[in-house]
Amino acid sequence: MSLRVGAHVSISASRASNDPETPPHGNIANAVFRQTAFGGNCGQIFTHSPQVWEDPNVDAAEAEQFRSATESDLDGPWVIHTSYLVNLCTPKDDLREKSLQSMQREVDAADQLGIPYVNVHLGAHTGAGVEGGLDNAAGVVDDVDVPSDVTILIESDAGAGTKLGGEFEHLAGIIDRTDTDIDVCLDTAHVFAAGYDLSSAAAVDETVEAFDDVVGLEHLQCIHLNDSKHDCGTNKDEHAHIGEGLIGEAGMERIVNHPDLQSVPLVLETPTEDGKSFAWNIDRVRSLRRE
């Protein structure tokens, strides 16, 4: 199975003057330019700053450039990651409404751009409890008018505080509660932080089997492939370079080669530090793959 691997890249018009991946023009097609510069063939974007409530604001010409460049230069797929402010589980009416409106804008942008997936965290129940939080999240998802060619992905979480998504049962719970067809994105650093071991081939096999038993591998459409700077079960979310964190080379190699995961696209959110960028990490993933 052909390896699909890429990174979460910026759509901004420019970056630091010493950045070799500075794009030639200023629109969302910058993402395709950067992805190919890093050596990726699929990837993820924010349509706007993730720290604010903002419209994607993509015009028709930019969307056409993005779709055309993607078709000619990448294997795909792309994923849109929603704003960090979105909280599907919230019991607060105002935040629920803002989250719903933001989700609607993102799935509409995905449809415009030909992107099949919109990735979102469940968020925090902030006192509503696990069951109440999952009920709230399902209500928001079912109120989104999702285009036929777009699927919402619920991302696994590191599990700190009242955030949901750290347990596979939470992911199964939201799938069971919705009338909307939704699927899942697993973040390896989050899964590890939440207490599912990935640090050896045997541990990866056990965790994949647990996910299949609880959620079902048919729902896994994307993996955020990140190593972890913190140990298993710490609920601490800080990403490391591939094979250089506490998941380590053995765990990463098994994830990349596991027979049930080989067709799942891998999107890196690894750091840029120690002289290593997305390009280094993408090359590292390819070096671990046994065809």
46: left (phi over 0), alpha (psi -120 to 50) or beta: beta
User: Can you tell me the distance from the alpha carbon of 223 to that of 16, in angstroms, rounded to the nearest whole number?
Assistant: 29
Domains in the chain: ranges and CATH: 5-288 (3.20.20.150)
Q: How far is CA 157 from CA 74, 90, 191, 266, in A?
A: 28, 16, 7, 17
* Main-chain dihedrals φ then ψ at residue 233, nearest 5 degrees: 85, 5
User: Can you tell me the distance from the alpha carbon of 184 to that of 67, in angstroms, rounded to the nearest whole number?
Assistant: 24
The tokens of 202 are what?
């045997």
Per-residue pLDDT of the chain (291 residues; tens, 9 = 90+): 699 999 999 998 654 333 545 554 557 999 999 999 999 999 999 999 999 999 998 899 999 999 999 999 999 999 999 999 999 999 999 999 999 999 999 999 999 999 999 999 999 999 999 999 999 999 999 999 999 999 999 999 999 999 999 999 999 999 999 999 999 999 999 999 999 999 999 999 999 999 999 999 999 999 999 999 999 999 999 999 999 999 999 999 999 999 999 999 999 999 999 999 999 999 999 999 997
- Cis omega (within 30 of 0) on the bond before 77? yes
Convert the pLDDT of each residue in 3-31 to its tens digit: 999 999 999 865 433 354 555 455 799 99
250: number of CA atoms within 13 Å, CB side? 10
Give the β-pairing of 183-187 and 163-164: unpaired
User: Can you tell me the distance from the alpha carbon of 105 to that of 198, in angstroms, rounded to the nearest whole number?
Assistant: 35
DSSP letters of 130-179? HHHHHHHHHHHHHHS---TT-EEEEEP----TTEE-SSHHHHHHHHHH-S
User: Can you tell me the distance from the alpha carbon of 50 to that of 128, in angstroms, rounded to the nearest whole number?
Assistant: 25
pTM over 0.85: yes
Of 194, 219, 209, the residue nearest 254 (C-alpha): 209
Terminal alpha carbon distance of the chain = 8
User: Can you tell me the distance from the alpha carbon of 67 to that of 135, in angstroms, rounded to the nearest whole number?
Assistant: 36
pLDDT of res. 242: 98
Interacting residues of 259 by C-beta distance below 8 A, sequence separation 6+: none
